Amino acid sequence: MIEIRFTLNGQPVSARVAPALPALTLLRDSFGLTGTKPGCGEGECGACTILLDGRAVNSCLLPSALLDGREVLTIEGLESPSGTLHPVQRAFVEAGAVQCGFCTPGMIMRTVAFLRERSHPSDDEIARSIEGNLCRCTGYVKIQQAIRAAADELGVGGTEGGS
Ligand code: FES
Ligand code: FES
C-alpha cells in the first residue's frame, strides 16, 4: 500500500491504495464518485473517462499510483459551486443526447477536454473526438449535435464553469 495525495474536483485529498488499483475503483468505492461509470474495464468504451491534468483518460486503465500529485476532474466536479450545469452538460440535456445515461459522463468529460483544445471544431473533428466512447442508445447524432452546440457557445467568448 502507498499513500497518494492529489486534487480531486478542486479539493486536496489523500488515500492509501494498492498502487495498481484502477483509479476508477478508487474514485467510485473510496470517494463515492459513482458518476464515473465502469463499462468494459479494458479501455474500449470510454464510460470511465475522467480528466487528469486536463487530459481525458480512461480511469479503468489508470493505476491509482499515477494520481499522486495530479489534478483529477470527474463529472461531479463540472458544475459550478452553486449547482449550475457546465455548458457541455447543458448542451447534452438540451439536445436530447442522453438516453440511458451510462455513456454520458464519459462523453461529457471527453468533450470538455476536446473543446479546451479545439474551440472551433469541424463536424468531422467532432465525430472523431468521441471515437473512443461508445453509446448503445442514441446513434450518436444527438451527441454530435450537443457537442456542436457546446462548441458554438464556448467558442463565442463563453466561459467554462457554468456560471
Ligand atoms: S470502462 Fe474504461 S474504457 Fe470501458
Ligand atoms: S445513452 Fe445509453 S449508452 Fe449512451
Give residue limits of the domains in the chain.
2-77, 87-155
Sort strands 2-8 and 49-52 into parallel, antiparallel or unpaired.
unpaired
Which residue has the least CA distance to atom 3 on ligand 1? 43
d(CA 45, ligand 2 centre) in Å:
11
pTM, to two decimals: 0.94
- Going by CATH, does the domain composed of 2-77 fall within 3.10.20.30? yes
pLDDT tens digits, the chain, 163 residues: what are they? 999 999 999 999 999 999 999 999 999 999 999 999 999 999 999 999 999 999 999 999 999 999 999 999 999 999 999 999 999 999 999 999 999 999 999 999 999 999 999 989 999 999 999 999 999 999 999 999 999 999 999 987 544 544 3
Give the fold, CATH level 3, of 87-155. Answer: DNA polymerase; domain 1 (1.10.150)
7 vs 147: CA distance, rounded Å? 27
Residues near ligand 2 with C-beta < 6 Å? Answer: 98-104, 135-138
The three cell numbers locating residue 59: 480511469
The answer to whether the CB of 132 is under 6 A from ligand 1 is no
Q: Which ligand is nearest to the CA of 47?
A: 1
Enter the C-alpha cell of residue 104: 454520458
Residue 36 Cβ inside 6 Å of ligand 1? The answer reads: no
Locate the ligand 1 atom nearest the alpha carbon of residue 132 and give its number: 3
SS3 for 44? coil
Which residue carries 463563453 as its cell?
Answer: 158
User: Would you say the CATH fold of 87-155 matches that of 2-77?
Assistant: no
Identify the burial level of 21 via C-beta atoms within 10 angstroms of its C-beta, where 0-12 means exposed, 13-18 middle and 19 or more buried. buried
Q: Counting runs of H as helices and runs of E as strands, what totals does the chain give?
A: 5, 5
71 CA from centroid of ligand 1 (Å)? 20
